[in-house]
Amino acid sequence: MRPHRLVLLVAALLLFATPALAHVPVFATDNATPETAYPITDASKSWSIYDQVDAGGVAYYELDFDAGDRLRVSVFTPSRSLTPSLVLASPALDESDAVPARVAVPDGYGREVVAGSRPDCASYEPFAPSSFYDTVQLDREVESGGRYLLVVYADGSGPVGLAVGQEERFTPTEYVRVPLDLVRVHLWEGQSPAVVFGPLVAVLGIGIALGRSRLPSARPASISAALGLAGLLYVGTAAGTALQTVIAVSRSGLTAGVLVTAVFVVVPLLLGAWLLRRAQAPAQLTTRSRLAALVVGVVGLATWAGLLVGPALLFAVAIAPKTGFGVGSGA
C-alpha cells in the first residue's frame, strides 16, 4: 500500500462520508435552570448536545438568532421508554402556551410547547454510529431575532439530546477529538464500559500476546513495537466501530447510512493490517518508510483510528532516530 494511493483512497471515501458529519458532539452539565442554561455559541453551526434529565427534570439551553435565521432543532433519546418534549421561549415570541409546572420561563418571555412524539423505529446515525428516537423536530425561519431558550423536559429520567443548526463545520480540534467524544456518547447511551472498550482491549491483548516473539532483529525493537501497537489500536477501533454498528442497526434496521459508517471500519482495518505487517518487517527506517508512517498517521486522524494514540505513535516513528526511542532499542 503506497502512501499516495492511500491518500487518494481515503480522500475519496471521506468525500463520500461528508454528509454524515452533520453535528459536532458536545456534552452539557449543570444546566437545570434558566440562569445556568447551556450556551450554544453559534446557532447556525450543527451541534449535537448530549445531556441527562432526572425524574421530572428539565434541561435548558440558550442561543441568539437574528431575524431571517434558520431555526432547526431536534430532540432525541436512545431510551426506549423516554419521550422528551420541547419548550421554545423568547422575548421575541408572542405565543403563551401553558408549560409544565416544573419548566421555569423568565418574565417577559413568550413560550411555545412542542410535545414529543415517539416514532415506532429508531433512526440510524452513521456518524456515531448509533440509533436514536427523534421525538421533536422543528425547522423554520426566525421572524424576530433575539435570545431564545430551548427547554427539554420528560416524564422520566434518562439520556436526552438536542441537535441544532444546519451548517456542517468542524474545527481541526473538534474533528481530531471525535474518537474520544464518541466513547462518551456510547457511555451516555447507557452502554457498559465492557461493551464500549471490549473490542479494543481484546484486540490489544491478543495482539500483544501473539506478537512478543515476532519482532524483527534488524531494526530497533522500539520502532517495531510502536508500529505494532499502532496497528493493534487501528484494528481495535475498527472492531469497536463495527460492534457499535451492529448494536445500532439492531434497533434501527439496516439503512444506507451503514455504507458511510463502513468508511470508519474498513479504512482503519486496512491501515492496521498494513502496520502489523510493517512491524514484522526487518527493514531499517528510510525516508520512504518515515513518510509512509506520517501519511498513515494523518489518515488515522482523518478516520478516527487508534484513539489518537495510534497516530501519535506513527508521528513519533516518522521523526525517530535510527537507533529507536531509547527504550528497548537495539540492532
146 neighbors 66 (Cβ within 8 angstroms):
no
C-alpha cell at 240: 469497536
Rounded-to-integer distance, Cα 212 and Cα 123, Å: 44
Q: State whether residue 321 is helix, strand or coil.
A: coil
pLDDT digits (tens, 9 = 90+) for 128-186: 899 999 999 999 999 999 999 999 999 999 999 999 998 888 888 998 899 999 999 99
96 neighbors 111 (Cβ within 8 angstroms):
yes
- What is the H or E stretch that residue 115 is in? none
pLDDT digits (tens, 9 = 90+) for 10-49: 555 554 554 445 589 999 999 999 999 999 999 899 999 9
pLDDT of residue 7: 53
Q: State whether residue 230 is helix, strand or coil.
A: helix
Counting every residue written for the chain, the total comes to 331
Report how far apart, in Å, the C-alpha atoms of 80 and of each of 33, 77, 83, 120 are. Answer: 26, 8, 8, 10
pLDDT of residue 215: 61
- For the chain, list residues with pLDDT below 70: 1-22, 212-219, 325-331
pLDDT of residue 158: 94
pLDDT of residue 169: 84
Q: Which residue has the cell 431564545?
A: 148
pLDDT of residue 194: 97
The structural domains of the chain, ordered by start, are 3-17+174-319 (no CATH), 22-169 (2.60.120.380)
pLDDT of residue 328: 41
The closest of 60, 72, 55 to 32, measured between CA atoms, is 60
Rounded-to-integer distance, Cα 255 and Cα 266, Å: 18
Q: State whether residue 136 is helix, strand or coil.
A: strand
